[in-house]
A and B are shown apart, each in its own frame.
Chain A
Amino acid sequence: MKNVSRLFLLLLFLQSVTPSAYGINSIHTGTGLKTIVIDPGHGGSDKGGEGKNGLLEKDVALEVSLSLRQMMLNNLKINVVMTRDGDYDLSLKKRTDMANMSKGDLLISIHTGSSYSRDIKGIRIYYLDYEEVRKEFMVGPSNHEAEADNNGGGEDDVEIILRDMAISDFSNEGGHVAELIQKNLTEIIPDQNVILKSMPILIFRDVNMPSVMIEIGNLTNQDDMMRLKDRKYRDKVAMAILNAVKEYSRVNSGMVTR
């Protein structure tokens, strides 16, 4: 029984992962990107960060995500899937499942930042740190659910190799998108600090597509908080992300012509 379910999982896995592990044809066919998943952070009882003036991360994230979606629909021929479009709780597991089920080519998660001290400000763009994920993989599957049901059962070698290739690919692509977003943000909002960072155990390591997470300003900083309140600033951020996605899409569709 165990083997059957393992085989089934592997098949599911191959189906969802191999296209991008080999040749990346799900991303690079036709006009480039087909489906973009936008994920507004937090929601419902999870307010996320909170500004001194009561501005909530979950609200800013949703508003920016909705305008980004509208801009994408107006400017690109693609599907846009939102993980949430209202103010309600949504687990990370559900976000990941929704993204995978929609067979997205790119996931963009929108957040605001917060720091311990009030001086720290700026935009931060995060992508998956492949080396860090790999390190944990090599240690074995004794983490996560595997820990509870079967310790040291040993993952299938093929599965490990495929997963390894896929994660490395998603990580590279995610890093590329992150750089494009940084470039476009710096162009559109030159007086804002934009930092790139790689993270080891980001929430989206289980999604089968490249992903980035953007904290579009620090709610704990007075200047940033005022900007985040301003509709013009939020639209500029969305515009920069749209332009980055456009560029990314162009590069991808270019790659398919032989």
Chain B
Amino acid sequence: MKRYIFVFIFAVFTTGMVGYFALYYKGSENTRRVVSTPLSIDKRDVVLYFSSRDEENLVPEIRQINLKGTLEEQVAEVIRELINGSKDLINTIPDGVKVHGLKIGRDGILSIDFSRELRENHPGGSWSEMLTIYSIVDTVTGNFPDIKKVKMLIEGREIETLVGHIDTKRTLMEKRDIIMDDKMRKG
């Protein structure tokens, strides 16, 4: 699975590079904008995970996003996109949630500090809690292979649980078996 993601990222990267050179040789006005830092890829396909309509699984939605700057800035952008929500699927992040900050530490642990609305506006059931947590974890680990684990914070503080059922003191690893796509492929 890891290899699969890597190949995917590589493919996206290569496509980005080809696009870049194509634009460059065309000499269009866009070229100036494309050249930023060597690390950044301008337009990228990212996979966001939202809830299925029956609220049983996560479902991938592919979206083209401008990703610029440092890895942390790119992750923040992807999470913003997740918070913006989906038109066809059910949003797993409640209304009004903001990200106060995030940081990638050693061992590829991403800490994300959410605003209190993540808890206060959450419906509260344990399965909804599952979907919220893993839509975040699977989205960031799926798009950024350097991120191995995720630690969730609210208003700068560690939380025992988000809404009472799932241990979020631990750092969280990706969980692919609640993703509909993977299940169907296996079945």
Count how many chain A residues have C-beta atoms less than 8 Å from C-beta atoms of the other chain. Answer: 41
Complex alpha-carbon distance, A199 and B171, angstroms: 16
A213 part of interface (Cβ distance < 8 Å): yes
Shortest A60–chain B CB gap in Å is 12
Give the total number of A-B pairs whose CB atoms are below 8 A apart. 86
Question: Is the pair B164, A220 in contact by a Cβ cutoff of 8 Å?
Answer: no
Question: Is the pair B171, A147 in contact by a Cβ cutoff of 8 Å?
Answer: yes
Shortest B119–chain A CB gap in Å is 10
Complex alpha-carbon distance, A183 and B63, angstroms: 44
Known interface pairs A49-B123, A116-B51; A205-B160 also in contact (CB < 8 Å): no
Interface on chain B toward A: helix, strand, loop, or mixed SS? loop
Residues 127 to 181 of chain B near chain A (Cβ within 8 Å): 127-128, 130, 160-161, 163-167, 169-173, 175
> Can you name the residue of chain B whose Cβ is closest to the Cβ of A42?
B164
Shortest B133–chain A CB gap in Å is 9
Known interface pairs A139-B173, A143-B171, A201-B170; A116-B165 also in contact (CB < 8 Å): no
Point out the residue from A116, A117, A124, A142 that lies within 8 Å of B107, measured CB to CB.
A142
Interface residues of B (CB under 8 A from A): 51, 53-55, 90-92, 107, 123-128, 130, 160-161, 163-167, 169-173, 175
Interface residues of A (CB under 8 A from B): 41-42, 46, 48-50, 57, 91-93, 111-117, 120, 124, 126, 132, 135-136, 139, 142-144, 147, 151, 197, 199-203, 205, 213, 215, 218-220
User: Which 5 A-B residue pairings sit nearest by Cβ, starting from the closest?
Assistant: A49-B124, A114-B125, A114-B123, A114-B124, A113-B125
